[in-house]
Amino acid sequence: MRAAVVTFPGSNCDRDLRVAMESVFGVPVRALWHGERDLPKLDLVALPGGFSYGDYLRAGAIAARSPIMAEIVRFARRGGLVLGICNGFQILTEAGLLPGALVRNRGLRFLCRTVDLEVTTTASPFTAAYGEVRHIRLPIAHHDGNYVIDQDGLARLEGEGQIAFRYRDNPNGSTAAIAGVLNRERNVLGLMPHPERAADPRLGNTDGVPLFRSLLEAVHGAGS
């Protein structure tokens, strides 16, 4: 597994994500600086949570225009695996790799809690390892996690099975309780919940581990 986590100015879950990925992948995960213009040979690029550029414009809008993002868009178009968590999800929608947008939570407040989720599809390299497990709990921590998409877009997501996770008790007002979406080609996933905060028995929750294991199996084949 050749994986990397990008650090944008203001990213703050980059270390957490690397630690979680390394614990599942069993190999070092590279740290990439947003200003780099070339990607090394990779199987997976992950965009972490945080407040890139302070979210002073729309969340993720400036980071989506970082030099490295042009490369990541090309990488995704060639079929490379791209994962965006929280602010990373916002960046992926701003970069046009995922449909829809993320706006302020319905309650207008930042919300940090562990929520119940439904794994909506296991037909993806990000969710296959959830198998029969359809009900999981993952932490959320965001101010702008309210996913919006128009009726046609929603119909397409539903028709193509692109909704990866749904909230069971919609905490932020997202359209159709969507917590995570895939692109049509299913090689790009964005989600608001933080699987990297649920990948360590010491923290009392390991429901995020199958997401990373899915990726490992997708790259190396099941049984790795």
Partner 1 sequence: MNAPPITDELIAAHGLSAEEYRRIRELLGRTPTIEELGVFAVMWSEHCSYKSSKRHLRKLPTEAPWVVCGPGENAGVVRVGAGKVAVFKMESHNHPSFIEPYQGAATGVGGILRDVFTMGARPVALLDALRFGDPSHPRTRYLLNGVVAGIAGYGNCVGVPTVGGETGFHPAYDRNILVNVMCVGLADEERVFYARAAGVGNPLLYVGAKTGRDGIHGATMASASFGADAEVQRPTVQVGDPFTEKLLLEACLELMARDVVVAVQDMGAAGITSSSLEMAARGGLGVVLDLDAVPLRETGMSAYEILLSESQERMLMVLKAGCEAEAKAVFAKWELDCAVIGRLTDDGRLRAYHRGRLVADLPIAPLTEEAPVYARPATPPKPPLPFRPDPEALSIDPDAALLRLLASPELASKRWIFEQYDHQVMADTVRGPGGDAAVVRIHGTDRGLALTTDCTPVYCAADPRTGGRQAVAEAYRNLCAVGARPLAITNCLNFASPERPEVMGQFEAAVEGMAEACRALRFPVVSGNVSFYNETEGRGILPTPQIGGLGVLEDLELRVDLALGEEGLVLLLLGESRGWLGQSLFQQMLLGREEGAPPPVDLAAEARHGAFVRELAKDRLLCACHDLSRGGLAVAAAEMCLAGGRGARLEAPPPHLAPAAWWFGEDQGRYLLAVRPEEAEAVEVRARELGIAIARVGRSGGDALILEPAPPISLQRLEQAYESWLPAYAEEPQGGLEDQRDAHGGPGA
CB-nearer residue toward partner 1: 37 or 202: 202
Residues 84-103 that bind partner 1 (CB under 8 A): 86-87, 90, 102
The interface region with partner 1, picked from 65-73, 126-134, 175-183, 202-210 by CB under 8 A, is 202-210
CB contact at 8 A, 115 and 194: no
- Determine the 3-state secondary structure of 33 from DSSP: strand
Q: Where are the alpha helices (DSSP H) in the chain?
A: 14-25, 67-77, 87-94, 151-160, 209-220
Strand residue runs (E) in 28-91: 30-33, 44-47, 81-85
Tell how many helices (H) and how many strands (E) occur in the chain: 5, 11
The interface region with partner 1, picked from 118-126, 140-148, 176-184, 213-221 by CB under 8 A, is 140-148
- CA–CA separation, 101 vs 86, rounded Å? 12
194 is annotated as an active-site residue: yes
Catalytic residue among 34, 86, 94, 143: 86
Sign of CA pseudo-dihedral 224, 163, 165, 181? positive
Binding track, positions 58-87, relative to partner 1; x by CB under 8 A = -xx-------------------------xx
- CA–CA separation, 167 vs 67, rounded Å? 34
Candidates 94, 125, 143, 147: give the one binding partner 1 (CB under 8 A): 143
- By the rule CB under 8 A, 213 interacts with partner 1: no
CB contact at 8 A, 149 and 99: yes
196 is annotated as an active-site residue: yes
Shortest CB 74 distance to partner 1, Å: 24
CB-nearer residue toward partner 1: 19 or 39: 19
Footprint on this chain of partner 1 (rule: CB under 8 A): 9-10, 12-13, 15-16, 19-20, 33, 35, 49-51, 53-56, 59-60, 86-87, 90, 102, 108-113, 139, 141-145, 194, 196-197, 200, 202-204
Residues noted as catalytic: 86, 194, 196
